[in-house]
Structure 1
Amino acid sequence: MTIVRRRWLMPMMAVLLSVLTAPVALAHCQVPCGIFDDGARVKALMEDATTIEKAITEMNALASKRDVQSQNQFNRWVMNKESHASHIITVMAEYFLAQRVKPGEDYDKKLREHHAVILAAMKAKQSSDMAAVKALNDAIGKLTAYYHMHE
């Protein structure tokens, strides 16, 4: 009986661990529920871009410091920057491109502008250059022409 329990213990622990550590999808589901707030999503993308900018600023301030605490904080800013860039990419692909950009008037232009946000987020993720953040902000800013922004 003990041997049988042990055979199942490790696989069950692995399943439990994978469920508990699985990434959470933050983009809206792909069910046509009609509950969309595109402007709020664009605003959230802008907040992600602001966080990326703050992370790069802090990384530059910590870059010359050699103490362990500064190195630890530097790494946390890098991870935070990459997390927010990944979030932008996911929202753009799974929400906007998959659900909101539809064939019709100016379809090619809309595709290019939405894809430009993905590319800019990727470059901001790979870089510590403020020019990448400016390009990301500019690309996100172009989306405001398509989505009603709430105050």
Structure 2
Amino acid sequence: MKTYLTIATAAVLSFSAVPNISAHCQVPCGIYTDDTVLKDLHTHQSTIQKAMEEINTLSKDPGKNANQLTRWIMNKEEHATKIQTTISEYFLAQRLKLDEMESDKESYLKKLTLSHQIIVLAMKCKQSTDVANATALHKAIDDFTAAYTGKSGHSH
């Protein structure tokens, strides 16, 4: 019986000690591609917009829809935070190179400005259910994509 408890305790501890793995580990692993990360930004934005629409609809009868409202609000928050984290940890910390400031200052400043705009718009999406913020976020991600890749942004 003692052996069983020791094994069970070890199993519980091993599951509870699993580290939180970040999608953008700041190690040059080569796993994440810019195209995938940019596509993920659009997916997060679409999820935020869908959440806003659902929250606005469910809010018409909050008593009846309290659980669903809570889930959509949490979902909206999570995806807005993921956008902010991706811009900060992937693009600002890793992909936008400081030496571009000297070689192409205008392009560098445009990417920085759009990065800041995306972070602020994601914050505004957390603060309200105004779909105009989600629409502006979509446009900012498109504009950033175009500035970053030199191609037109995604249109979802």
Q: Per the shorter chain, which TM-score range?
A: 0.7 to 0.9
**Residue matched to 1:3:** none
Larger RCO: 1 or 2 (CA < 8 Å, sep 6+): 1
| Contact 2:49-2:131 within 8 A present in 1 as well | yes
Q: Which runs of 5+ in 1 are unaligned?
A: 1-8
**Residue matched to 1:126:** 127
The aligned runs of 1:68-147 (5 Å cut-off) are 68=64, 70-103=65-98, 104=100, 105=104, 106-145=107-146, 146-147=148-149
**Residue matched to 2:22:** 25
Residues 100-130 of structure 1 deviation map (CA, whole Å, 9 limit, x = unaligned): 1112112222111111111111111111101
Q: Which runs of 5+ in 2 are unaligned?
A: 1-8
| Contact 1:39-1:144 within 8 A present in 2 as well | no
- Structure 1 distance, partners of 2:117, 2:13, is 39
TM-score between the two structures when normalised by the length of structure 2:
0.76
- Structure 2 distance, partners of 1:96, 1:15, is 33
Tell whether 2:44 aligns with 1:48: yes
- Structure 2 distance, partners of 1:58, 1:94, is 30
Give the paired residue count: 135
| Contact 2:62-2:69 within 8 A present in 1 as well | no
Aligned AA (2:23): L
- Structure 2 distance, partners of 1:144, 1:52, is 18
The Cα of 1:14 is off from its aligned counterpart by 9.2
**Residue matched to 2:61:** 65
The change in CA–CA distance for 1:139 and 1:66 in structure 2 (over 3 A counts) is closer
Please provide the CA RMSD for this pair: 2.3
TM-score between the two structures when normalised by the length of structure 1:
0.78
The change in CA–CA distance for 1:66 and 1:102 in structure 2 (over 3 A counts) is closer
